[in-house]
Chains A and B, each alone.
Chain A
């Protein structure tokens, strides 16, 4: 049993992973991952200027249909990127909103929601 599970503790992780969804409040737009990244850089430059623009944000996955995406952000720039996404409110003069649903230093933990765990489930697994 011991070999199956491994506990990883990162005290100062290099990257954080964010699960982000763009909400356009019903408006239609044709996005691809380049345009999405451009939007994020615009948000970053808008709030933090050139310093914000220098943060390297990578798009790991982008879903065209639901506008959901997973970002990789350096941990030092997490607060800046997150706040820039929070305060970004209009795209082409139409209201929009970045929903940040999960943030974690581990990429696999974005696939589950720890709030849904129950004690029985945990016991079963172990």
Chain B
């Protein structure tokens, strides 16, 4: 069965409330949840905090995954040079929230980010140009909108509907994820409720559901390639970090002095193993 994702739950100072929100998200049927740290201009950047301990039952624990996410608020004056550093890489997802047209253009084209998000609960202040959006889509970036503000307040709701319907119509709903942006447990809604709400925003039924399931999953894989790989093709790790079941992959790369004696005595069934490991190395 597909997993439901909610990749934007706000990090709040009150630890009890935070736990409660995450537990409610788990009960509602979300299986992958990201806790968001918002970085505004002038805030100090810290490494990703560890996942929050929740007292869940064993069964719930098995199906529940907690991730960390950072949302950087961009303005014209922001210095973007730190977006590739190690502290940022310690977060699972990197999102940016442009506040001006220029920063939106930069976020769509130049910056290496996973997700572009907006504050749809007020007037945006700039126009989302089709050309920039297309550039971002071509580069495999994702867009997000949050339904949390629509639940909180009727004035916000008007803006959320206005902005999202406009946005969805333009882009026809591709590469879009929907998340809650919840600060309190009252802002959370069950996945199927949200999918139905997305139909009201102008998405098709299939798109609405995939924006909660397969699209966020694709986003997480893209984020992993940004964080952990060199040019999206090579990963480097220490030999000791390899799990037991994958140990055979490095058997072929042992030093020749210790391996030479064994090689003469190898049985036929060892042959394919060696071939496999050679293949992997060439990849």
Contacts and interface: CB of A to CB of B under 8 A. Distances in A.
A86 B186 contact: no
Interface of B: 150-152, 154, 157, 186, 189-190, 192-194, 196-197, 199-200
Contacts of B196: 79, 82-83, 86
Contact of B197 (A86, A95, A97, A99): A86
A56 interface: no
A89 interface: yes
B193 to A, nearest CB: 4
A86 to B, nearest CB: 4
Contact of A89 (B152, B190, B192, B199): B152
A100 B193 contact: yes
A25 interface: yes
How would you classify the secondary structure of chain B's contact residues: helix, strand, loop or mixed?
helix
A100 B151 contact: no
Which size bracket describes the interface of A in this complex? 10 to 19
A87 interface: yes
Interface in A65-87: 79-80, 82-83, 85-87
Contacts of A46: 154
Given A25-B186, A95-B186, A97-B186, A87 B192 contact: no
A104 B197 CA distance: 17
Interface centre among B190, B192, B196, by most A CB within 10 Å? Answer: B196
B80 to A, nearest CB: 36
A87 B186 contact: no
A90 B222 CA distance: 39
A86 B189 contact: yes
